[in-house]
A and B are shown apart, each in its own frame.
Chain A
Amino acid sequence: MVLQGRRSLALWGGMTLAAIARLLLLMSGASARLSRSVEIATPVTSLVRLEEGFWLKKLGLSPYAGSVYHGSPLLLEIIGPLGANSPILFLLSDFATALLIILIGKRLSAARDHYTHWNIGITHSMLFLTGETLDIGEIAALLYLFNPFTVFVCVGGSTSSFESFVVCLALYASLEGNAPLAAFAWVMASHFAMYPLVLLIPVTSRTFDLATHILCVFFLKIASALCCGPDKPRSKIFRLKSSESLKSSTNVQWQKLWSFILWSAVWSSCVLGLCNRILRHDGGLGEMLRETYGFILTVKDLTPNIGVYWYFFTEVFDFYRSFFLMVFHGNIFCMIAPLSICFYHRPIFLSFILMAVVSTLKSYPSVGDAALYLGLMGLFTHELSDFKYAFLLLNSYICVAALGPVMFNLWIWRGTGNANFYFATALAYAFVQTILIVESVNSMLRFERGLKLTIKTTLSSSKKDN
């Protein structure tokens, strides 16, 4: 009871503090400064550009006229009329995201609970931190809310906090096995920012009921690995034993997948139809796709940001441009397959890794992208407990976050530095994120190896007993 009380106090107190911090920053007028900073507002998510697009639309021109606005026409209709009130919207969306993260965490813990019930040597302490006061979801939510990146993005106002919300909604709905909602959120997220398209595999793999599924698949894999082992009779028994509970879940998967595909088709046609209606007097859908997805893929705007594309495409020779565009984007998409093969049974982790990959390699990244995956990382506090270089990484993040604006200031405002200084921090940021991704993958694989070993020894010892 006391634990429960302390827990809710920590959660709600933390949430209130996070809200107060945001409100204070909003009232101090920091948003005007933050909303124009390149770390927060990219050409795709900038609120100033959205305002301009809305103004152009009011004038009767296409919102995409002038290569200024590159977001969705739906956002234009939602955020445009709000004008100066939009920070409230971002505040709400931040807290909704946090709430969704809490719910995702609940589902994850429930799933873990489920697999301690199987008598294969996995104990509670192997999956949960001992003596933890907060649920992993709550840790992750607080991590998300208190991350300075999130706070600045929320206060500065950029549509990326909206994107985070929709992505989390997609993850949560797919955990719930709610195919229509998952499809809706996935379609919306992809519509807003294109890159959430890569979340297709994690989202669909979780339209199946997670509690009985994801970890079952994991065990199935282990079981099949054990099949080839020396201990044949026993493993057959194990397979028989496990397949009873597996059957029910594996059978319904396809149905859910089809329903997801169907619903995504429905929602995408809805979204496209709506956009077409909004843009019917202007360029229509063709122009929208050219100015959103096309703009993201061709990297036409060379405004500095925390990614590496802008300087690369500023400097690279024109005739290599399309080649490198393909290489860079290929790097994001060609990693989907290997990651999915390795982590298809861990969809949330897979989406965390994919989001980190996207944030490293997307054409117009902002700290908002980092805020989301750093928040989701909290869901794996236990799995990633033997994460190496944590101290180094944390400090690198802080250094890069501090040095970036300084270098930008020196280059752009004071004219004493030059572009190379700023690019160096962007490069360091990409490097730091790469280490984070690789090390997360490594420690997750280590964790699974440990689990596997435990199961194996339990099984062999039970065989000996026989």
Chain B
Amino acid sequence: MDLPFALAFVLLLTSCYAIDEDFSEELLLRPLPDGNVLAHFHFASTLPPVDHYGVHHRLFPKAIFQLVRKFRIKEMELSFTQGRWNYQRWGVGDPIAQLAAKPVGVELTASLDVPEAEVDSTWGNLTHALSGLFCASINFLESPTTFLEPWFSWRPEANWTGGGGAFDAPGVKRVVKGKKWSKSSRTRYGALPREAVCTENLTPWLKLLPCRDKAGLTTLLDRPTIYSGMYHSQRLIITSGDFDRDEEGTTLEQTLTVVLRKPAVSEGLSSKLQDWTLSGLFGSKLEGKCPLATTSSVYLELEESLAKHLAGDLSKETRINFVDNRVFSLSSAPSRVLASLSGSLLLEYEAGTHSELDLGVTWRAPVDWSPARGRFYTSRYLAGSGNARGSIVISFRANDGPSGDCYSPGIEAVEYVDIMILQMIPWYVRLYGHTLQVSLDGRNVEFWSVVRLMRFTPAEDRKAPAAVEIALRVSIATQAVTLTIQYDKGFLHIDEHPPDANRGFDLPSAVITFPRCRVFKQFQSDDVGHSHILAVVQVVDCFVFPSPSFVFALLLQSQRPMQIYSEVSLMQLATPDFSMPYNVITLTCTVLALYFGSLLNALRRRIGEEERESKEGKKAGLLSQKLKWLRNEKHMRVIKVILVVIIGVAVNHYLSSS
């Protein structure tokens, strides 16, 4: 970035934020190929820098503001998820999937702008604060066995410049060790796969919105409906600028993604696709907007392969009747239609203009379309049986469809795919690093020929989880990549088992990043306007598509490489008998007593003649005379009293000193 451009950029930012607080609410609906409907609520609040604006806010939640200031949060992402994002049916590598797909349970990532030595303690305090704020046991993330410090695979774009970066640099240590890689050491990543998500987490989340659930899009959030969906992910993203310069202000994004079950009506044309309306899905129509929101829109997204069914040509000149065409008919006409450069369509409805919006889709012809696909489908599973050992397998299977290739900026001819894996494994799964194995297309290959970079931080019993980060580079022709590592299952103390121990333990998801694949959808820049959702959707690599408008600033923040999460695996550990402590203690001590008593007895026993001899030989020595003195009852009593006094004094001294 050259200097004038950077200056202009800073000016843009300041001018953009210095105005006022801003709140926008948006909802994106997308019919999914399997007939379900995806609803993505996106609420964004921005706060101008404190220097310009002060600390009294109209819209921005005070709780979050205080959190940001107190813990100096540069970036934070907290997600509560229930259900599993089905990458194959709902899409991989499209911007919404990227946002929506989160691992089951709670996931928290935070970059803190505090001195490196204080990061862990600040993280601990932050988890407690969040725990109170969201009524969840996020405070469990304070324990060092549940979080880790990612070294290079989290947000690789921050550490890895441009296209090749550290991968290609000569002399990069293949194994990252110790503190040698300290670039991102203020970021912490933690996950609680076991955390159940419910309305008690949603209510405090809604409280952060200026209109709560009284007006606007949030009125759609009917609790039974959204929690009975197939997937539910609620997130909170905080981004704030540099604390010392304080030029960027703070942004709070709250998103809620639900995949709602297709309505159980059997009148549709195909068995898969069902007609739906907003009121059918959520139980109520959309009435008005939140009066405090600057933008309040509803979008209906038609994916590329669905949009293709509408007409051959989707350029702006040809007018397609979106309300009533041969594929579907809509209940109301959109106020705007946006077409992305790749061919997908966004129909925009202004929530405020309609007094009552009940958007619905009625299918007219059976259509079949496929969701966005990444280069690889990923799955992680546990191999082996029994409770002694097994192996963790992470496998990548090439997508056989046409849209398999991902977009890689800056590289003309892509001959290889880079894959980065970040995996946190709890300590009770004892990984054997020497058993790490990579196989390409079913054949084992030499480990270092494929692995470009690896970080292996072994777990410490009861202290830290194992952290494995691996960067692989495989040729684009590879059909299957499998990574295997063996482990022994640990054995836990009875108190370390959860109440339902036989359910098993959840291994956190592996985070898999394709650093060269950028997830993006590009629209005409003047179409985007103030919409935050479009800004997110339009994730463009700035070096390739420099966009002139101020929206560019927003885009820059959300530039992300493709990241997907593996499944959460459930691991059974052998359990002890929880009802046995007393029995075990008594039985073991009995054996010990038997050993001790009988051995001592055998050693000191005298028989027959020996006994006589020893008695005769034992003349009344000095010791036995003293003992005789002790046997006198009076003396004994005195000694007992003295002993009690001594013990009392000793105990008192001990207690007072400690």
Contact = CB atoms under 8 A, between A and B. Distances in A.
B591 A438 contact: no
A43 to B, nearest CB: 10
Nearest to A312: B588
A233 interface: no
A360 B595 CA distance: 9
A397 interface: no
B491 A304 contact: yes
A225 interface: yes
A189 interface: no
Interface of A: 36, 48, 51-52, 54-56, 59-61, 65-68, 225, 228-229, 300-304, 308, 310-318, 327-328, 331, 335, 338-339, 342, 360-361, 411-415, 418-420, 423, 427, 430-431, 434, 437-438, 441-442, 445, 449
Interface in B562-603: 574-577, 580-581, 584-585, 587-588, 591-592, 594-596, 598-600, 602-603
Contact of A303 (B427, B490, B613): B490
B580 A308 contact: no
B491 A302 contact: yes
A314 B460 contact: no
A67 B598 contact: no
Given A427-B588, A434-B599, 17 more contacts: A48-B432, A48-B488, A51-B434, A52-B434, A61-B177, A68-B432, A303-B488, A310-B491, A411-B387, A411-B574, A414-B386, A419-B574, A430-B591, A431-B594, A434-B595, A441-B599, A445-B602
Contacts of B316: none
B602 A331 contact: no
B280 interface: no
Contacts of B462: 300
B180 to A, nearest CB: 10
Given A52-B434, A342-B603, A441-B602, A331 B595 contact: yes
A304 B388 CA distance: 10
Main secondary structure of the interface of B (DSSP, over half): mixed
A66 B458 contact: yes
Main secondary structure of the interface of A (DSSP, over half): helix
B319 to A, nearest CB: 64
Contacts of B175: 59-60
Contacts of A360: 595
Given A59-B433, A68-B458, A342-B603, A412 B595 contact: no
A335 B595 CA distance: 10
Nearest to A408: B388
Contact of B587 (A59, A228, A412, A427): A427
A315 B491 contact: no
Contacts of B380: none
Nearest to B619: A228
Given A311-B584, A316-B581, A331-B596, A427 B591 contact: yes
Contacts of A313: 493
Nearest to A456: B609
30 contacts: A36-B389, A60-B175, A61-B458, A65-B460, A67-B427, A68-B430, A225-B613, A229-B613, A300-B461, A301-B490, A303-B490, A303-B491, A308-B591, A310-B491, A311-B576, A312-B584, A318-B493, A328-B592, A331-B595, A361-B595, A413-B385, A420-B580, A430-B591, A430-B595, A434-B591, A438-B595, A438-B599, A441-B602, A445-B603, A449-B607
Contacts of B387: 411-413, 415
B456 interface: yes
B446 to A, nearest CB: 15
A316 B495 CA distance: 10
B483 interface: no
A317 B466 CA distance: 27
Contacts of B434: 51-52, 54-55
A59 B177 contact: yes
Given A55-B434, A423-B584, A441-B602, A66 B460 contact: yes
B387 to A, nearest CB: 5
B459 interface: yes
A406 B111 CA distance: 52
B494 A315 contact: yes
A335 B599 contact: yes
A311 B461 CA distance: 18
Nearest to A36: B389
B432 A52 contact: yes
B594 A315 contact: no
A449 B574 CA distance: 51
Given A315-B584, A338-B603, A420-B577, A434 B594 contact: yes
B200 interface: no
A434 B389 CA distance: 33
Contacts of A67: 427, 430, 458-461
A429 B461 CA distance: 29
A331 B600 CA distance: 11
Given A52-B433, A308-B591, A413-B385, A318 B584 contact: no
Contacts of B431: 66
Closest 5 CB pairs of A and B: A66-B458, A55-B434, A413-B386, A67-B461, A315-B581
Contact of A449 (B385, B388, B587, B610): B610
A83 to B, nearest CB: 10
B365 interface: no
Contacts of A335: 596, 599
Contacts of A411: 387, 574
Nearest to A66: B458
Given A338-B603, A419-B575, A228 B617 contact: yes
Among A300, A303, A310, A414, find the residue whose CB has the most chain B CB atoms closer than 10 A. A303
A414 B616 CA distance: 65
B6 to A, nearest CB: 39
B581 A55 contact: no
B460 A315 contact: no
A238 B607 CA distance: 25
B492 interface: yes
